[in-house]
């Protein structure tokens, strides 16, 4: 038996693997784009299949296809989603800029399955793709896939990270550490204040990200080829969004201007920009953890991160801050992804952006990377680190910057002299201040009390 079969499209005949659900147009794309050997992301394909089911339901409602055809398409889509659907979607990320190859891949696979279910031909273009163009279904799928990942993965992970940080802040509130600016000793802070700062960074970023959801959930569907809606029923966009909302339990709406949503990818660029901001916050948190954990003898040694694996193939006993390091690498990748999306977003030439697949790939990559790393950072670094209180107290006692609290009483110049002597002599600042001022020890102990200098954590 032959392991291939002949398929036909508007360009002629083509050999396709005998057991493939897809047809000629998918095979042409496989042949044309052996570039990265990376397929479109699974969340994108999932959203594309859901969009095809929603379109079929809308087209049945609008009497554009028969009820039996619509049911077969919906059942085929649902069957795909319940199995290992990615095996049927071999098209490379680096393909035609409109994503037409991926659209036709979905149309062909669903048409094959629907034809088998119905017992008569279901056409990939006339039925599965009814009322659609690659030029609106692919921008729609970018929005839908990103919205679903945001709702299901990224936002829950970020909120979990905030919750863990805030819970840890309560736990470490009693501990006071040396603050640092320019990586140099500064006034003391509570450990809880450090963590509360991290939490606020993330909460602000989450709020900004949530503010983009209405734009992300507004869809290009109904614009078809150039935004005019040619070959689509006038009510198709509304019915499609209603059906998709029902299928996903996320509220999608027709875009206010379909020309903008097809000709540009400004919303994807904006979402990516906010993901970059989150990556920058995570990089700061990860690096703070690495510095505080550094040592344990020759570094700061203020905290001890959970030991997760041996840190060296040659140095026995070495343990490294692997989760913060992995998080920092994720942050770097997300920043890089944003650069790609920024360049791709500039490729809206007249009525169509022609870098849609790479926008989808990088946006979904950023969303998933941030989701996964946020949970790991929360559960395997922040929740479990231990505070090295003796090291904190030792550093605080010898911190000459505490003399800042004496400025209003003895003046900046005198305080600077005391700080320099304390540093040069390696002595506690209170002892040096006692020798060089008329202030009694009892008053100095009050003025230089690190706990009072942190404003009690308020």
Phi/psi for 15 (5° steps) reads -85, 135
Run of H or E including 248? helix 236-248
SS3 content of the chain, % helix, strand, coil (to 5): 65, 10, 30
Run of H or E including 304? strand 303-304
Secondary structure string (H, E, C) spanning 99-152? CHHHHHHHHHHHHHHHHHHHCCCCCHHHHHCCCCCHHHHHHHHHHHHHHHHHHH
356-377 and 155-172 are packed helices; what angle lies between their axes, rounded to 10 degrees? 30
Predicted confidence at residue 456, as pLDDT, reads: 44
pLDDT in tens, 73-95: 999 999 999 999 999 999 999 99
d(CA 429, CA 418): 7
* Candidate list 312, 313, 365, 442, residue with the active-site label: 312
Predicted confidence at residue 397, as pLDDT, reads: 84
Phi/psi for 115 (5° steps) reads -65, -40
Cα–Cα distance list, 439 to 187, 414, 435, 448 (Å): 21, 13, 9, 12
Cα–Cα distance list, 120 to 123, 124, 128, 133 (Å): 10, 13, 14, 24
Predicted confidence at residue 457, as pLDDT, reads: 35
Please confirm, yes or no, whether 312 is among the known catalytic residues.
Answer: yes
Give residues with Cβ within 8 angstroms of 321, minimum separation 6.
289, 290, 293, 305, 381
Q: Are 293 and 305 in contact (CB under 8 A)?
A: yes
Predicted confidence at residue 1, as pLDDT, reads: 56
DSSP bridge pairs for 4? 17
Neighbours of 445 (CB within 10 A): 12
List own/partner pairs for 447-450 with CB under 8 A and 24 or more apart: 447/405, 447/406, 447/409, 448/402, 448/403, 448/405, 448/406, 450/176, 450/188, 450/396, 450/402
Sign of CA dihedral 377, 153, 360, 353: negative
d(CA 250, CA 133): 23
Predicted confidence at residue 455, as pLDDT, reads: 82
260: closest CA among 143, 432, 91? 143
Residue 12 DSSP SS3: strand
Structure tokens, 408: 């209003």
Q: Are 252 and 219 in contact (CB under 8 A)?
A: yes
DSSP bridge pairs for 310? 319
**Low-confidence stretches of the chain (pLDDT beneath 70):** 1, 456-458
Q: Are 184 and 278 in contact (CB under 8 A)?
A: no
* Candidate list 2, 10, 182, 442, residue with the active-site label: 182
Helices (H), 5-95: 24-32, 42-61, 67-81
Residue 2 DSSP SS3: coil
Q: How many helices (H) and strands (E) does the chain have?
A: 19, 10
Pairing assessment for the beta strands 218-219 and 253-254 based on DSSP bridges: parallel
Q: Are 418 and 405 in contact (CB under 8 A)?
A: no
Q: Give the global pTM.
A: 0.96
Predicted confidence at residue 282, as pLDDT, reads: 98
Q: Are 221 and 133 in contact (CB under 8 A)?
A: no
């Amino acid at each position: 038996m032959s392991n291939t079969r002949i398929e036909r499209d508007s360009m002629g005949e083509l050999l396709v693997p005998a057991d493939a659900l897809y047809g000629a147009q998918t095979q042409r794309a496989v042949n044309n784009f052996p570039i990265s050997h990376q397929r479109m992301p699974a969340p994108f394909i999932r959203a594309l299949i859901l969009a095809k089911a929603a379109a079929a339901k809308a087209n049945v409602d609008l009497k554009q296809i028969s009820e039996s055809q619509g049911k077969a398409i919906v059942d085929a889509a649902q069957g795909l989603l319940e199995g290992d659907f990615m095996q049927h979607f071999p098209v490379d990320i680096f393909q035609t800029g409109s994503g037409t190859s991926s659209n036709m891949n979905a149309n062909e696979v669903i048409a094959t399955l629907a034809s088998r279910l119905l017992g008569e031909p279901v056409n990939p273009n006339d039925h599965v793709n009814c009322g659609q163009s690659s030029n609106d279904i692919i921008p729609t799928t970018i929005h839908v896939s990103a919205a679903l990942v945001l709702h299901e993965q990224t936002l829950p992970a970020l909120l979990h990270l905030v919750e863990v940080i805030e819970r840890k802040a309560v736990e470490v509130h009693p501990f006071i550490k040396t603050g640092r600016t320019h990586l140099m000793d500064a006034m003391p802070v509570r450990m809880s204040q450090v963590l509360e700062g991290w939490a606020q960074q993330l909460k602000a970023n989450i709020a900004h990200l949530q503010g983009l959801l209405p734009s992300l959930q507004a869809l290009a569907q109904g614009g078809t080829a150039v935004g005019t809606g040619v070959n689509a029923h006038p009510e198709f966009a509304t019915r499609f969004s209603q059906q998709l909302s029902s299928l996903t339990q996320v509220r999608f709406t027709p875009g206010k201007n379909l020309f903008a949503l097809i000709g540009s990818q400004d919303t994807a660029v904006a979402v990516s920009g906010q993901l970059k901001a989150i990556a920058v916050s995570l990089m700061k948190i990860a690096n703070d953890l690495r510095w505080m954990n550094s040592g344990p003898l020759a570094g700061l040694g203020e905290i001890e991160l959970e030991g997760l694996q041996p840190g060296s193939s040659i140095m026995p006993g070495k343990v490294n801050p692997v989760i913060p390091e992995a998080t920092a690498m994720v942050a770097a990748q997300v920043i890089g992804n944003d650069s790609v999306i920024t360049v791709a977003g500039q490729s809206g030439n007249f009525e169509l952006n022609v870098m849609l697949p790479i926008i989808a790939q990088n946006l979904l990559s950023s969303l998933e990377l941030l989701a996964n790393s946020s949970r790991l950072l929360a559960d395997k670094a922040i929740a479990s680190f231990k505070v090295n209180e003796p090291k904190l107290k030792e550093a605080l006692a010898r911190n000459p910057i505490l003399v800042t609290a004496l400025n209003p009483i003895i003046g900046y110049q005198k305080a600077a002299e005391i700080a320099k002597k304390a540093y040069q002599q390696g002595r506690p600042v209170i002892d040096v201040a006692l020798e060089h001022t008329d202030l009694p020890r009892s008053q100095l102990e009050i003025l230089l009390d690190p706990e009072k200098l942190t404003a009690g954590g308020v």
